[in-house]
Amino acid sequence: MKIWKEGRMKIGIKNGQELKKMREAGRILGLILSELAKMITPEITPLDLDERAEWLMKKYSVLPSFKGYRGFPNVICTNINTQVVHGIPDRTPLKSGDIITIDCGVIFEGFHSDSAIHKGVGAIPPEVERFLRTAEKALDKGIHAARAGGRVRAISIAIQQTVEQAGYSVIRDLIGHGIGQKMHEDPPVPNFKDEDPGPILQPGMTIAIEPIICMGSYKVKTLKDGWTVVTADGSLATQVEHTIAITPKSAEILSKRPE
């Protein structure tokens, strides 16, 4: 791996063999999340999903990125309704009308992949469906904007414009990131236009793009457990995420899920 420096940042440029390992990490993560998505029904609990995820990681011979990271106790984060990120799975059953985000990361031969899915539980209102679709559209736009020779800011602008034009807010306190041998690497990837345009995107860079949005104010707070971040105004929140690689022609989605 070659290290490219820009300012204070040290960005890993992955070679062909390293990208091969990240593709496999992403492929396996896609399989795991696809399996978990099928389980999301009323009465299932977040801890049921976490236990299944851990079983699948053992099946596919990968390690969890999250469990033990700064003391986090589980292999997935489950964020329900007003929860934004870092929700700790528990035994509270999901109910029809909830929305849930599952954020998960795995390690294959020393390389991480990070991805998040969301889903409505049972029947959800049309306005909530629209909210979820907007997050997905923002992720697609952000990935499309990730082009070699451009800057990180292009990703940020594409996400922010998509979200705000739909009438929603981008969470400011939480952003995407570089990824590779560590789960969080340079460069930071904001979901909003920042004063810093960010580094030039180069082939071999790998980043996690993750729109994190809410229906109300972008202000958040952390609960007493020290992990779970929720919206300050009690509005619904959601997140979607893919790990991608910058190639000479486009962005390659490494964590793509099976059709």
User: Residue 140's domain is classified under what CATH number?
Assistant: 3.90.230.10
Please write the tens of the pLDDT for every residue from 26-55.
999 999 999 999 999 999 999 999 999 999
Pair 101, 47: CB distance under 8 Å: no
Q: Which element (helix H / strand E) includes 213?
A: strand 212-214
Give the tokens for residue 228.
Answer: 């779970």
The pLDDT score that the predictor gives to residue 208 is 98
Pair 242, 254: CB distance under 8 Å: yes
Mean pLDDT of 54-74: 98
6 pLDDT tier (thresholds 50, 70, 90): confident
The pLDDT score that the predictor gives to residue 5 is 73
> Is the bond preceding residue 125 a cis peptide, omega within 30 degrees?
no
Give the Å distances, CA to CA, from 216 to 2, 130, 136, 147. 42, 14, 18, 31
| Radius of gyration in angstroms for the set of CA atoms belonging to the chain, rounded to a whole number | 17
Provide the edge-to-edge strand list for the sheet that holds 212-214: 169-170, 212-214, 237-239
Mean pLDDT over each residue of the chain, to the nearest integer? 96
* Total domains in the fold of the chain: 1
Tell me how far apart the alpha carbons of residues 229 and 88 are, in angstroms, rounded to a whole number. 10
pLDDT of 4 higher than 70 = no
Mean pLDDT of 223-233: 98
| 259, part of any domain | no
Q: How far is CA 101 from the centre of its chain?
A: 9
Pair 202, 169: CB distance under 8 Å: no
What's the domain range around 123? 2-253
| Through-space distance between the first and last CA atoms of the chain, rounded to whole angstroms | 32
Mean pLDDT of 129-154: 98
DSSP symbol at 67: T
pLDDT of 108 higher than 70 = yes
pLDDT of 1 higher than 90 = no
Residue tagged 């049921």 (tokens): 48
Residues 6+ apart with CB under 8 A from 191: 138, 142, 156, 159, 160, 163, 170, 171, 175, 176, 210, 211, 212, 213
pLDDT of 72 higher than 90 = yes
Q: What angle do CA 199, 77, 167 make, to 5 degrees?
A: 65
pLDDT of 196 higher than 90 = no
Mean pLDDT of 104-127: 98
The pLDDT score that the predictor gives to residue 195 is 85
The pLDDT score that the predictor gives to residue 223 is 98
Pair 89, 50: CB distance under 8 Å: yes
| 258, part of any domain | no
pLDDT of 3 higher than 80 = no
* Percentage with pLDDT > 90 across the chain: 92
pLDDT of 7 higher than 80 = no
pLDDT of 156 higher than 80 = yes
